[in-house]
A = this chain, B = another copy of it.
């Protein structure tokens, strides 16, 4: 999927919601545990329950790797189930020296048909370039994350800038808004105004709304650009909205609530 198609999906649905399928096998509704493949059944139910209200899905690879080979299979099968209308993100936070990053790019853009992958910037240009070489794919580089640990390095000063600002400035020059997005946590929403001065056009993947306490209103106010430019991710707040037999309906309601609020923010 390319940027134009993504923007068109956002306009059509009036939604910039990304649903995070961070499926923890220990948190499934109990009645699903008798299924042959409870995690896959759950993921399919989540896709059915939310696809009308979101434009993207984000699969956090950690939760699948924790299940071993079986988890990698479920990731593949989940990907096959997600409609082509939705941008599918591997939240993998990979990054290595050049020839190794090429292997990661192959893993997520060829072997698995993801549209986008998250990448950690620490190792610099040659660790990120191999991902950017793919057409109609997005590399989503960590900027300012939503966790407490962001203070340790991302918010340290390098010259006049915070490290994360240096990362945004530097990495933005390696790609274009057509192949490059950034992760900016919602718990840092007020920083979005200054971030938009550095990267006015790139899409931002914004985690941390919901369970981590970020506000959708603030993110929209400070982060939106003329193309919307936002993908707001909600994981636990949607997929674990309920854990009883009504879990899918609860997920629908949670996704719809996000979509309803997003419609208002997009109108502004």
Contact = CB atoms under 8 A, between A and B. Distances in A.
Contact of A163 (B98, B107, B111, B153): B153
Interface of A: 22, 24, 60, 62-63, 65-69, 72-73, 76, 91, 93-98, 100-101, 103-104, 106-108, 110-112, 120-128, 142, 145-154, 156-159, 163, 166-167, 170, 212
A149 B127 contact: yes
A24 to B, nearest CB: 7
Contacts of A157: 158-159
A104 B65 contact: yes
Contact of A107 (B66, B98, B123, B148): B66
Given A96-B93, A111-B66, A149 B163 contact: no
Contacts of A93: 94-96, 120, 123
A106 B71 CA distance: 13
Given A76-B69, A146-B97, A103 B63 contact: yes
A66 B152 contact: no
Given A66-B106, A124-B153, A153-B170, 5 more contacts: A68-B72, A68-B112, A93-B94, A124-B148, A124-B150
Contacts of A148: 124-126
Given A95-B120, A100-B22, A150-B123, A111 B68 contact: yes
Nearest to A148: B126
Nearest to A147: B97
Contacts of A60: 96, 100, 103
A156 B166 contact: yes
7 contacts: A62-B94, A66-B104, A121-B122, A121-B152, A123-B153, A128-B149, A157-B159
